[in-house]
Amino acid sequence: MGKLKAIIFDVDGTLADTEVNGHLAACNEAFARMGFDIRWSWEEFKELLKIPGNARRMRLALSTRTSLSEAELDRIVPELFALKKECYLKRVDKLPLLPGVARIIHEAIDRGIRLAIVSVTHEDQIVALLKAQIPEALDAFDPILGKQSGEKDSALYARCAAMLGCDVSEILVIEDSEKGVKAAKGAGLPCAVVYNDYTKGQDFTGAELVVRSLEHLNLDLLERLCLG
């Protein structure tokens, strides 16, 4: 029996490339359907990814590009974001898992390794993505800690580790961003980074492993490289 007892996955950019054809497209559709002349380009959206959460990004756009008052923003942003979520949920079947992800998940399930998620995305969007892309593994992910569980920070990662009931040295976090690495490492968790086009070049100091893809890795190799 190996040392690895659990894997915590991030979602956006780690499980699947959800940003361009998922969140960005859904935001733009929601803006259009509510009559706002705002359409983010991918370059604009990449910059906005530094701000956690699409509701915050959309509020920022409305506050700088319309004459809405704070009171109007308070009323409109929740409605706009609810519409964005609805648009996103219709797109999850077109957001395939990244190379190697499904294989690692199945390998973990076969070996009795626990699976969990820590993400800034709302739980219902995470569940919808899993249900669309890897339904047979949906029940294996427990806990799923998304937006409703609080800020994605070291405390949330520590909470997830406690819920898994494993020592931090037996858990591997798989992330795609500098912010995610810092949160995982702040909780004392080993972290592997699978970077993508919009996180490439970020500071992954402290990560046990930095790779472009999980495609050519298996659990034995991940365990050996990340958990020593």
Strand ranges inside 146-190, DSSP E: 171-175
Distance between CA 107 and CA 112 in Å, rounded? 9
Kindly state the tokens that stand for 175. 């992330």
Q: Verify whether residue 10 is a known catalytic residue.
A: yes
Among 10, 124, 167, 220, which one carries the catalytic annotation? 10
Distance between CA 186 and CA 98 in Å, rounded? 26
What's the DSSP call for residue 52? S
Per the listing, tokens 């810092």 go with 182
Distance between CA 204 and CA 152 in Å, rounded? 17
Q: φ and ψ at 172, to 5 degrees?
A: -115, 130
Among 12, 74, 93, 197, which one carries the catalytic annotation? 12
Distance between CA 180 and CA 203 in Å, rounded? 11
Active site residues: 10, 12
